[in-house]
Chain A
């Protein structure tokens, strides 16, 4: 069954993107290594992480980016195209946290005949609040083009 496809004309500034939550636990730490192939021990070895000055292991760039990109790709449908993506890793997600991944439409415009939607995306947890603010520039199909 085809996934829902948003069109540029139907999107409103302020619309929420459907988000999701990920439990950060031992299983997630292993999935993180499997999915990212990032073996830097600060992300899986608590002793190494503490010796480096951190309180515990924390989720890496690969998992964080995959989660925030998923917020966008879950929403933009098969015909959407993520043209640019930016995110900052200001705080950490550690075992015991629930990583909530969210997004909101911040702007929409036409540039060079392409129909852009800019979205704020972010991850947050109860311990730190917003940990990872980001922004996505998405090209959506327009109903005019589809007609």
Chain B
């Protein structure tokens, strides 16, 4: 692979690329919130109990402020999923993925019944070696999530690492020698 992957050409072509906004198939629902809470034993009644949440300043059940859950309702809740198209668009030497970091900015709460949309943008692409793969590629994407009124509720900035498996690295090294 050495010499075959032109990171500068990839950057010129893909950095700044945006997807058209896509809308989650279903509105925000109680049960995915319950399952999300269940996986970490979160019993917060603001997220789970309509009667309790209705008496708080929020007036109804809200989502835990997790960028992952917002993305779920905005994009990969639908079936067939619409999450994948952005990430594979950027060519990378390896297809193994590790999520490295995430930043989420919140501007409002997400309520049950909201209907979310997301527009995604590739903010950066660069190469930085890791112990598994000297040609690992890092992709920074932004997901701008809006509600049914067009109000941006959160922005998720995510850094994904794409690497080759040890077998793929060994095969490439053999080819190059």
Question: Could you mark each residue 146-169 of chain B with 1 if its beta carbon is under 8 Å from any beta carbon of chain A, else 0?
Answer: 000000000000000001011100
Number of interface residues of A (CB under 8 A): 38
Assuming A82-B106, A85-B104, A89-B98, is B39 touching A63 (CB within 8 A)?
yes
Assuming A51-B165, A65-B66, A78-B58, is B41 touching A86 (CB within 8 A)?
no
A81 touches B46 (CB 8 A): no
A84 touches B105 (CB 8 A): yes
A contact residues around B55 at 8 Å (CB): 2
B102 touches A66 (CB 8 A): no
Taking the nearest CB of chain A, how far is it from the CB of B23, in angstroms? 17
Question: Could you mark each residue 40-78 of chain A with 1 if its beta carbon is under 8 Å from any beta carbon of chain B, else 0?
Answer: 101000000001110000001111011101100110001
B contact residues around A63 at 8 Å (CB): 39-40
Instruction: Pick the interface stretch among A8-16, A28-36, A103-111, A112-120.
Output: A28-36
B contact residues around A31 at 8 Å (CB): 38-39
Give the complex CA separation of A78 and B45 in angstroms.
9
Number of interface residues of B (CB under 8 A): 43
Give the complex CA separation of A147 and B62 in angstroms.
26
The residue that B97 contacts in the complex, of A34, A40, A70, with Cβ under 8 A, is A40
Q: Which residue of A lies closest to B71 (CB)?
A: A62
Say yes or no: is A87 at the interface (Cβ < 8 Å to chain B). yes
B106 touches A81 (CB 8 A): yes
Say yes or no: is B128 at the interface (Cβ < 8 Å to chain A). no
Give the complex CA separation of A67 and B36 in angstroms.
10
5 A-B pairs with least C-beta separation: A35-B39, A31-B39, A62-B68, A82-B65, A88-B101
Residues of B at the A interface (CB closer than 8 Å) are 32, 35-42, 44-47, 55-58, 64-69, 72, 76-77, 96-106, 109, 132, 163, 165-167
Residues of A at the B interface (CB closer than 8 Å) are 2-3, 20, 22, 28, 31-32, 34-37, 40, 42, 51-53, 60-63, 65-67, 69-70, 73-74, 78-79, 81-89
* Given A37-B77, A70-B40, 7 more pairs with CB closer than 8 A: A53-B163, A62-B39, A78-B46, A81-B106, A84-B103, A85-B65, A88-B100
